[in-house]
Amino acid sequence: MRPLWICKRCANPWPCAQARLALLATYAHDHISLSVYLCGQLYDAAKELHRLNPHEAPSPQALYARFVGWAPSRLPPPP
């Protein structure tokens, strides 16, 4: 639910665990598109959450972890 960025089903911050699983399934063969989509959502959320409450908006680091940091990268981790 925008502009609060909470899940309509569970009211947890979006993307919640169920939303993450659904996104992983939807983009199972296209991790780059998943990353592009999530970055777009991060941009919109940062703008909207800051507009709602500029003094208590999540930090850039928290937003990155929430929207992008959980997604698989396109490269395997180094050994």
- 14 located within any domain: no
- Which range is least confidently modeled, 1-5, 14-18, 48-52, 69-73? 69-73
Tell me the pTM: 0.86
- 21 located within any domain: no
* Number of compact structural domains in the chain: 1
Mean of all residue pLDDT scores within the chain: 92
pLDDT at 76 over 80: no
- 6 located within any domain: no
3-state secondary structure of 21: helix
Confidence of residue 75 (pLDDT cuts 50, 70, 90): low
pLDDT at 25 over 70: yes
According to DSSP, the residues that pair with 13 across neighbouring strands are 6
- 10 located within any domain: no
According to DSSP, the residues that pair with 6 across neighbouring strands are 13
- Pair 67, 45: CB distance under 8 Å: yes
Q: Domain range holding 51?
A: 29-69
Burial of 53: CB neighbours in 10 Å, binned 0-12, 13-18, 19+ = exposed
- 15 located within any domain: no
Confidence of residue 73 (pLDDT cuts 50, 70, 90): confident
29-33 average pLDDT score: 91
- Pair 27, 34: CB distance under 8 Å: yes
Residue 60 neighbours by CB under 8 Å, 6+ apart? 46
- 60 located within any domain: yes
